[in-house]
Amino acid sequence: MRLAFLPALLALALTPLLRAEAPAQANRFEKEIAAFEAADKTSPPPQGAILFTGASGIKRWTTLAEDFPGLQVINRGFGGSQISDSIHFLDRVSVPYHPKTIVLQAGGNDLNAGKPVAQVVADFKTWVDKVRAKLPGVKIVYLGQSPSPARWAQREQQKELNRLVQEYIATGKNMAFVDLWDVTLGPDGQPRPELFVADKLHPSAEGYRIRTKLLRPVIEAP
């Protein structure tokens, strides 16, 4: 009988630890977010621009302004982030700019951390709901997962995430999905090496050129 109570006792014992861990995880990007806010005070970004946010694929996109001439763009990517981090910092890295469009690239780190696809999709839906509550008129563009040599073993989960997110986006309004899958693969069915830097994970200049080509008509579409 005593053994039957062990799971419940263990859960009670772990609850304070789990509660303590959650804020610590969520706040691991506090320095980066604070740096964004400090930069905003020195040089306020334009309102109604196109906001790029999410993980390191966005953070490393240092040529955004050059790649999208004639458009006002803001880069608020923070490397290593997951969708839950974009939710946590929404009021500080998205809402203040009142963007007309948000481009989100996230989800890959979530899968790499062991989160099931269903959880990542649920987090994306939560993020969309929170964005809509604060910025009802904003256009949401999701930059789909692209296969990479470094995470080739996760390709089936990435494809499933793409499929489910694309299905969800198709049911909504003022949302778009940008598919990077096929254009990233070569004739041999493997990721094209020239699209990645030395770590075989992040985009090269050519990789960003492809993203720009696919994103621009979506961003400019009414």
Quick: pLDDT tens for 111-168: 999 999 999 999 999 999 999 999 999 999 999 999 999 999 999 999 999 999 999 9
Q: Is the pLDDT of residue 184 over 80?
A: yes
Query: Stretch 165-183: mean pLDDT, rounded?
Result: 97
Q: Average pLDDT over the chain, rounded to whole? A: 91
Question: Does 27 fall in a domain?
Answer: no
Q: Is the pLDDT of residue 15 over 80?
A: no
> 65-78: per-residue pLDDT in tens?
999 999 999 999 99
What is the value of pTM for the model shown?
0.88
Per-residue confidence (pLDDT) for residue 49, from 0 to 100: 98
Per-residue confidence (pLDDT) for residue 26, from 0 to 100: 62
Per-residue confidence (pLDDT) for residue 9, from 0 to 100: 42
Phi, psi (rounded to 5 degrees) for 126: -65, -45
Q: Is the pLDDT of residue 22 over 60?
A: no
Q: Domain count of the chain? A: 1
Question: Does 216 fall in a domain?
Answer: yes
* Eight-class DSSP state of 203: B
CA dist., res. 29 & res. 56, Å (int): 12
Contact, 177 vs 142, CB < 8 A?
yes
SS3 of 80-135: CCCHHHHHHCHHHHCHHHCCCEEEEECCHHHHHCCCCHHHHHHHHHHHHHHHHHHC
Phi, psi (rounded to 5 degrees) for 101: -140, 140
Question: Does 69 fall in a domain?
Answer: yes
Q: 10-19, 98-107, 176-185: which range is least confident on average?
A: 10-19
Question: Does 140 fall in a domain?
Answer: yes
| 47 confidence band (pLDDT: 50, 70, 90) | very high
Q: Is the pLDDT of residue 3 over 50?
A: no
| 27 confidence band (pLDDT: 50, 70, 90) | confident
Per-residue confidence (pLDDT) for residue 61, from 0 to 100: 98
Question: Does 157 fall in a domain?
Answer: yes
Q: Is the pLDDT of residue 17 over 90?
A: no
Q: Is 8 exposed, middle or buried (0-12, 13-18, 19+ CB in 10 A)?
A: exposed
Instruction: Note down the domain range covering 64.
Output: 45-220
Per-residue confidence (pLDDT) for residue 7, from 0 to 100: 42
CATH number for the domain harbouring residue 111 = 3.40.50.1110
Question: Does 116 fall in a domain?
Answer: yes
Question: Does 95 fall in a domain?
Answer: yes
Per-residue confidence (pLDDT) for residue 222, from 0 to 100: 81
Residues with Cβ within 8 Å of residue 183, at least 6 apart in sequence = 210, 214
